[in-house]
């Protein structure tokens, strides 16, 4: 858990001196800014916290921890946790089958072109 959080916490990016926040600085100066964690990094941290150990774990421990997290979240947040779980599993399977491509819909309900995450 610590390694995932530490790696994410140490991610920084250079901000150009001519950006809106840095206009008062000279053109050769840059500042370093911490980027927010990605959703995958946040989920990794939550799974490691659920496992409760920083020691190497078998793959089954991650599945068990993620199952407990999702189950607990559905019990707290859902009016129909059993139905929402089935929906979640079906959508996750579709996401995996598309190779990570997200299916996007316009407001009118027509499907947009599928896109890989981050594009």
Residue 7 lies in a domain: yes
Residue 4 lies in a domain: yes
Query: What pTM does this model have?
Result: 0.58
CA distances from 97 to 21, 56, 92, 101 (A): 42, 29, 9, 9
Q: How many structural domains comprise the chain?
A: 1
Phi, psi of 56 (to 5 degrees): -55, 140
Predicted confidence (pLDDT) at residue 119 exceeds the cutoff of 70: no
Residue 65 lies in a domain: no
Residue 43 lies in a domain: yes
Residue 113 lies in a domain: no
Instruction: Quote the crossing angle between the two packed helices 39-51 and 59-77, to the nearest 10°.
Output: 100
Predicted confidence (pLDDT) at residue 75 exceeds the cutoff of 90: yes
Model pLDDT for residues 14-34, shown as the tens digit of each residue: 444 444 555 555 555 666 789
Q: Which residues pair with 13 in a beta bridge?
A: 33
* Percent of the chain with pLDDT strictly greater than 90: 55
Residue 41 lies in a domain: yes
Distance CA 92, CA 82 (A): 15
Predicted confidence (pLDDT) at residue 64 exceeds the cutoff of 80: yes
Residue 22 lies in a domain: yes
The domain of 30 spans 1-58
pLDDT of residue 32: 76
Model pLDDT for residues 87-115, shown as the tens digit of each residue: 999 999 999 999 988 776 555 556 655 55
pLDDT of residue 52: 96
Residue 115 lies in a domain: no
What mean pLDDT comes out for the span 38-46? 95
Length of the chain: 119
Residue matched to tokens 């950006």: 19
Q: Which residues pair with 102 in a beta bridge?
A: 115
């Amino acid at each position: 858990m610590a390694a995932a959080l530490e790696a994410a916490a140490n991610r920084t990016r250079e901000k150009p001196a001519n950006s809106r926040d840095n206009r008062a600085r000279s053109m050769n100066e840059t500042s370093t800014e911490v980027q927010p964690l990605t959703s995958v990094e946040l989920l990794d941290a939550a799974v490691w916290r659920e496992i409760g150990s920083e020691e190497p774990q078998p793959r089954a421990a991650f599945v068990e921890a993620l199952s407990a997290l999702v189950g607990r979240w559905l019990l707290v947040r859902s009016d129909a946790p059993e139905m929402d779980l089935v929906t979640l599993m079906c959508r996750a399977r579709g996401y995996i089958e598309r190779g990570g491509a997200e299916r996007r819909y316009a407001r009118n309900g027509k499907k947009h072109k599928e896109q890989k995450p981050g594009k």
